[in-house]
Amino acid sequence: MSENEKLLEVKNLRTSFFTHVGEVKAVRDVSFHLDKGEILGIVGESGSGKSVTCMSVMRLLQDPGRIIGGEILYEGEDLVKKSEKEMRRIRGEKISMVFQDPMTAMNPVFTVGNQMIEVIRQHRNVNKKEAHDIAVKMLGLVGIPSPEERMKNYPHEFSGGMRQRAMIAMALSCGPDLLIADEPTTALDVTIQAQVLDLMKDLQQKTGTAIILITHDLGVIAETCRRVLVMYGGMLLESGTVEEIFHHPGNPYTLGLLRSVPNPEKSRDRLEPIPGSPPDLIRPPEGCPFCYRCKYAMNKCVKEIPPLFDLSETHQSRCWLLHPDAPATDAFEKEGK
Amino acid sequence: MEQNTPLLQIENLKKYFAVGKNKVVKAVDDISFSIQKGETLGLVGESGCGKSTTGRTILKLYEPTGGKILFEGRDITGLDSRQMLPYRKEMQMIFQDPYASLNSRMTVADIISEALTIHHLGSAKERSETVAELLHKVGLKREHASRYPHEFSGGQRQRIGIARALAVQPKFIVCDEPISALDVSIQAQVVNMLEDLQHEMGLTYLFIAHDLSMVKHISTRIGVMYLGRMMELADSQELYAHPQHPYTQALLSAIPVPDPRHEKSRIVLEGEVPSPLNPPFGCPFRTRCRYCTEACAQATPQLREVEKGHWVACHLIGGGTDGAQK
């Protein structure tokens, strides 16, 4: 929806880790945008760069990692140019994050209430009592029963699902406009996952917070998001609405991913895995990162990185097969499920 | 072996763990099932439901608290570790975490041939030949034998784990979440390989996982566990098409379907799994069940055959009231 205001715009982001072995090009020239109040999914396997992209947006990269190029425009301001002090104000207040593992994301020696109050007082000009009340209200909002009592509990007294709820409460306690959730339900059981995803959708509608949901689970994406980015080998290979990505995929990698998971609605067929394994990011292929695993790969794919081709106003794909001069293939015509 | 003796029969298996003073966690409580030769029995449930403990107790990695384990009709429950040795060769295991389950100081060849050495199978030369064959079978190369685990990716390590399990030519393998640590595109590779090996070598699997769509894909029959008890057991197609137990219905409806057009009719369960230290009396699921009646708090429902091959443990099913099917 072009009439919507853009909340976040990432342009040509490049992030590398300068390790002893060499430069690991974790994010290579990634551009995307996020509208106010939308839920955007990022799907990819480990090493695809999806988490590093978001850590770059938060400016939370650990030492050998550095942003080496590009812009991260948040409401028009470039986050790459912000000082650490300025970033500290932005984190939590404007952008906050929920991590995968609710067991390690909290400090075990402080009560949940204590940790929430600390966050709130960092960003809002309130006294202890007021911060306490806000925290209780937030815990209630995310569905924790008897929040007043639960404030006094330590993280180990919470179950995994409740801890993730508390993390979401903490992340939303300063009313951010953007919530980045990095595999928020991966460590949870399916029935609890369903609860947490429902909660996130519900909160997004109530508070209007935009959400970036990082996951490797295609099912979670299909049920939660409006638009999806598909990442592989540090690059953005395809982006589009869920309808476009799941029913008219425009990239052989997306197709491969969709075919390698069993559909619980269908009967028992043989799975079609993607052969091989993800590329080495120290020496990534010169051309398309997926070229060595792609059954449609051509000479050009090995030599040159394909540009993003527009398939529709909302749908882009990085694949040489979409070039007007490419030979006709059956890749995309009949394959959309 | 007789035609109709199941490969494995589990009768009223119990495994309790003592926790502190006078407290007991009933990790596996009175479950019975059998596995036919050549089939894959899937075991699903949420964390803490006892599915992994079941797998480990069957292999006698844990000493059972009660019940019987019959392998090819012979009772192996009371055997000590020396008497178990011949059975260890028949029953192997594949672990969840391919990073933790391989000794980082041993080469691949040592890892795979360790079991061969223990069971005195073949000469040194034959063993190295076997290792090469096994590597080939799981899609790795002969040269990989002299390398160490850290030189491999997660998917390759899981292949090494599988080669190790296959080394002694077992009949039965417990696969404890063998793919949950792997990437989506690699999961399908490993699952296909497990299926191929099953056909080729006539293997029988107990496949433990929480990824319900993958379990449905690979299993012949599926058992659903909750708080140490078996709630439902049926043919996998049947279980997904006609789940009877309210817990199974909720569990299946919670699977996210990779299709945005899919109509969602999700049953969201209230609350969480109760502490296994203090499970509810009666039906373990009654605190979260929307059909719960008084009867559910009075007695623990037993697993009963409600249709041919379809077993359910619920007071409301097959016993007059039909609440749960509505």
**DSSP single-letter state for residue A158:** S
My answer on whether B146 and B260 are in the same domain is: no
Residues in chain A closer than 8 A to B189 (CB atoms): 273-275
Distance CA A88, CA A93 (A): 9
Q: Which domain holds residue B53?
A: 8-219
Q: What is the 3-state secondary structure (H, E, C) of chain B?
A: CCCCCCCEEEEEEEEEEECCCCCEEEEEEEEEEEECCCCEEEEECCCCCCHHHHHHHHCCCCCCCEEEEEECCEECCCCCHHHHHHHHCCEEEECCCCCCCCCCCCCHHHHHHHHHHHCCCCCHHHHHHHHHHHHHHCCCCHHHHHCCHHHCCHHHHHHHHHHHHHCCCCCEEEEECCCCCCCHHHHHHHHHHHHHHHHHHCCEEEEECCCHHHHHHHCCEEEEEECCEEEEEEEHHHHHHCCCCHHHHHHHHCCCCCCCCCCCCCCCCCCCCCCCCCCCCCCCCHHHCCCCCHHHHHCCCCCEEEECCEEECCCCCCECECHHHC
Residue where a domain terminates, one of B161, B185, B219? B219
My answer on whether B185 and B140 are in the same domain is: yes
Q: State the average pLDDT over residues B29-51.
A: 93
**Domain for residue B1, yes or no?**
no
pLDDT for residue B325: 45
What ipTM, to 2 d.p.?
A: 0.81
**Domain for residue B248, yes or no?**
yes
My answer on whether B82 and B206 are in the same domain is: yes
Instruction: Kindly report, residue by residue over B239-273, the tens digit of the pLDDT.
Output: 999 999 999 999 999 888 888 888 777 888 877 78
Q: State the average pLDDT over residues A134-160.
A: 89
My answer on whether B196 and B258 are in the same domain is: no
Q: What separation in angstroms does the CA of B146 have from each of A82, A186, B297?
A: 50, 35, 59
> Which one of A192, A242, A273 has the shortest CB-CB distance to B260?
A242
Distance CA A234, CA B59 (A): 43
Q: Give all strands (DSSP E) within A178-283, no chain letters.
A: 178-182, 210-215, 227-232, 235-241
Confidence of residue A268 (pLDDT cuts 50, 70, 90): low
Q: Which of A190-194, B75-79, B272-276 has the highest mean pLDDT?
A: B75-79
pLDDT, chain B, mean = 90
- What total number of domains does chain B contain? 2
Q: With a cut of 60, say whether residue A334 has pLDDT above it.
A: no
Q: With a cut of 70, say whether residue A266 has pLDDT above it.
A: no
Q: What percent of chain A has pLDDT over 90?
A: 63
Q: What percent of chain B has pLDDT over 70?
A: 97
Q: Given an 8 Å threshold on Cβ–Cβ distance, is A256 in contact with B272?
A: no
Weakest mean pLDDT among A26-35, A287-296, B143-152, B313-322: B313-322
- Pick from B49, B158, B184 the residue to mutate for testing the A interface (most A CBs within 10 Å): B184
**Domain for residue B187, yes or no?**
yes
**Domain for residue B12, yes or no?**
yes
> Which one of B153, B212, B258 has the shortest CB-CB distance to A263?
B258
My answer on whether B303 and B184 are in the same domain is: no
Q: Are A43 and A213 in contact (CB under 8 A)?
A: no
My answer on whether B211 and B248 are in the same domain is: no
**Domain for residue B233, yes or no?**
no
- Spell A22-49 as b/e; 16+ CB within 10 A means b: eebbbbbbbbbbbbebbbbbbbbbebbb
The CATH number given to whatever domain includes residue B40 is 3.40.50.300
Distance from CA of A81 to the nearest CA of B (A): 35
Q: State the average pLDDT over residues B292-301.
A: 91
My answer on whether B211 and B257 are in the same domain is: no
Amino acid code (one letter) for B34: S
Q: State the average pLDDT over residues A15-30.
A: 93
Q: With a cut of 60, say whether residue A320 has pLDDT above it.
A: yes
